[in-house]
A and B are shown apart, each in its own frame.
Chain A
Amino acid sequence: MAQTEARETATTETVPQTVEMAVQERRFNLRKLLVVIVLYLAAFWTLVPMYWVAISSIKSLRDLAHIPPRFFPTDPRLDAWVTIFERRILENVYNSLVVATLATIICLIISVPAAYAATRMRLPFKFVAIVVGLMGLVALLPPIASAIPLFLLGSDLGIIDEKYTLIILYTVLNTAFAVWVLRGTFMDVPMDVEEAALMDGDTRFGAVRRILLPLIFPSLFSIAILLFIFNWNEYIIALYFVNSMKTMTLPIAIQAQIPQHELDWGVVSAAGTIAVFPVLVAAFTLQRFLVRGLTFGVASGQ
């Protein structure tokens, strides 16, 4: 950072040929500085709570209870971590991973063809909007409002406390969102390119697989990550449908660390840290794929 700044100052000193240019350049740097400050504030704002949770998991009881709060643990210990591993937190992580991953994959398998049909089959916009709207209705309700009837339905069917039930429910809740976002993505790819593949001798399915999907892969990947995060974080539905360690997902497990009487903040923080970890990984991966360079330049001439 300091180096870049030094280099910038150097350019400011060497480049300006006129006073106006120098003024302009300085103004530009000032703006850049403001942007950087705002970004740092935003990063601070979001990262501090995460940091707080992470250090709380290794603080001693004395540090945890200390007033004013201590930003650095004076006597770090791993007791909380030992406790949550003893409480088989890894099984909850496994449950969450299975449910979130499968629900994401199934959701994409359903929504990619649906979104394709909605963009490429010359269906009237109204029709598409109504169908997707109906699908989205469940997702738009407050989760608690749909959770209770869903729970009644589930218990009638005898599928409470099964991982596949959570997978089905998460898929249903996310499909409308996924179709809608994918629709926009598909519309960004000109019809020409796909038609060219048909003319070159490909089948419709082949054209989608070999041309369309590779072109939208970055967006597809981003949507997958988003869905995964939704599923990973889901709490309310899981609260109703989870009865045992067999299905317990991480958010429910974290909640379960808070007992009725004495609250061990260290243990809750350790569980919370584990929950944040995959989301962090996802966010960093996402960042690389959010660059949507590929579909540009499909249209001619540029």
Chain B
Amino acid sequence: MAEVRIEGLTKYFGDTCAVNQLNLVVNDGDLVVLLGPSGCGKTTTMRCVAGLERPTYGDIYIGETRVNDLEPRERDVALVFQSYALYPHFTAFDNIAYPLRLRKTPKDEIERRVRDVAEMLGITHTLERPPGLCSGGEQQRIALGRAIVREPVVFLMDEPLSNIDALLRVYMRAEIKRLQHELGTTMIYVTHDQVEGMTMADQIAVMNQGTLQQLGTPSEIYDMPANNFVARFVGSTPMNFIPGALQKENGKTVHKSDQFVIPVSAEMADRAAELCPSGVCTLGVRPEEIRFTMDDDGANQARVFLLEPLGSETILDIEKEGLLLKVKDVAATQVREGDTLSLSFNRFHLFDDDTGAAIR
């Protein structure tokens, strides 16, 4: 058990900067998800912690030890690969036993620990088979078993669920989270799937183009995105963005765009005046934060052009003058395609167009 501290991590591959000045502290026993699109540097960061890559600059600490110059085997860190990377010429048992054998663990203890782990993961029946004869889910568990059996101080997971089918993934992510809670081991989990990040993480670190965009709990990331990248990336129905500018109208500040005029609270207006003097900013609003009424004389009218029923809720695709909005209708109102709705915007964010940063 240990915390992981990353200080000023920078990694270049040739001239390409994969990770730039990353600072991150993973508390002991926490599950931190590195979330970002492919090529954002999350996997490189994790490989630096694993010891498979050497940082160009910066330091990595596991517990109190600076590990920069330690070989992977000296770090006591386990890594589950996206491809599982099982040893095809060993049986599942030998795969799981391999780290223990390297540590010269006594034979009967290996036997006991491998069986325990296999039981915990429900793969006892596969132990005598080579991984090639196991299903994807079983291979996944064997890879997990190989990581768990040696009781490392830190778990690293590199998109471990991206190769199994969607249904199984939902179960496996809960299972990994449960395992992590039970074992109480620090875990760094890399994924590009924001749902995985939201459901599993104690803390999410959103990365883009090698830099850390925001670190926070899932609800902080969702409710208070630090910039428009985070806002765009997180949320299974993406946030709506309305470009425009802040203006004074009748002594009150409004966000005026080609399509809508949206009143802005006095507090927010004050912050905006300070942080974004030009007033040019994009308004971001989550699909569930747009309220609508069916009357056709209210402000901010728009037309429904498509319904996307999801069973428990319906997504309304609303269009106005070239701008598309997605609105979540949880209450199952009888909206039909072609209806005109009046929209009001409950909670929204403003993002400075120059920097992309949230105004708050």
Contacts and interface: CB of A to CB of B under 8 A. Distances in A.
Interface of A: 190, 192-193, 195-203, 206, 211, 214-215, 294-301
A193 B103 CA distance: 19
Nearest to A301: B163
B50 interface: yes
Shortest 3 CB-CB distances between A and B: which pairs? A297-B132, A192-B85, A196-B85
B3 to A, nearest CB: 20
Interface string B142-167: 00001000100000000000011000
Interface in B83-111: 83-89, 98-99, 102-103
B139 interface: yes
Contact of A211 (B52, B83, B87, B146): B87
B163 A300 contact: yes
Given A215-B88, A301-B163, A199 B72 contact: yes
A164 B121 CA distance: 57
Contact of B103 (A190, A198, A201, A295): A201
A215 B52 contact: no
A211 B131 CA distance: 14
Interface stretch (B61-69, B73-81, B212-220, B288-296): B73-81
B164 A198 contact: no
A300 B136 contact: yes
A198 B73 contact: yes
A190 B89 contact: no
A192 B88 contact: no
Contacts of A214: 89
15 contacts: A190-B83, A192-B85, A195-B72, A195-B79, A198-B71, A199-B50, A199-B73, A200-B99, A201-B150, A203-B71, A214-B89, A215-B89, A294-B89, A296-B88, A296-B132
A24 B30 CA distance: 62
B124 interface: no
B89 A201 contact: no
Nearest to A124: B14
Contacts of B50: 199
Interface residues of B, number: 30
Nearest to B165: A301
Given A199-B79, A206-B102, A193 B73 contact: no
Interface in B118-149: 131-132, 136, 139, 146
B81 A203 contact: no
B209 interface: no
A192 B139 CA distance: 15
Nearest to B47: A195
Interface centre among B52, B85, B87, B136 (most CB of A within 10 A): B85
Contacts of B78: 199-200
A228 B132 CA distance: 33
Contacts, number: 82
A257 to B, nearest CB: 47
B136 A301 contact: yes
Interface of B: 50-52, 71-73, 77-79, 81-89, 98-99, 102-103, 131-132, 136, 139, 146, 150, 163-164
Nearest to A298: B88
A200 B146 contact: yes
A9 to B, nearest CB: 35
A301 B169 CA distance: 13
Nearest to B78: A199
Contacts of A294: 88-89
B52 A201 contact: no
A197 B77 CA distance: 12
Nearest to A192: B85
Contacts of B146: 196, 200
Contacts of A211: 87
Contacts of B81: 192, 195-196
A201 B50 CA distance: 11
Contact of A198 (B52, B131, B163): B52
A299 B86 CA distance: 8
Given A199-B78, A201-B150, A297 B88 contact: yes
Contacts of B132: 296-297
Contacts of B131: 297
A195 B87 CA distance: 11
Contacts of B102: 200-202, 206
A215 B88 CA distance: 8
Contacts of A298: 83, 85-86, 88
Contacts of A199: 50, 52, 72-73, 77-79
Contact of B79 (A196, A202, A297): A196
B99 A193 contact: no
A122 B81 CA distance: 20
A298 B87 CA distance: 7
Contacts of B73: 198-203
Contacts of B51: 198
Contacts of B77: 199
B85 A295 contact: no
Given A199-B77, A214-B89, A215-B88, A300 B139 contact: yes
A242 to B, nearest CB: 43
B346 to A, nearest CB: 43
Contact of A197 (B82, B98, B163): B98
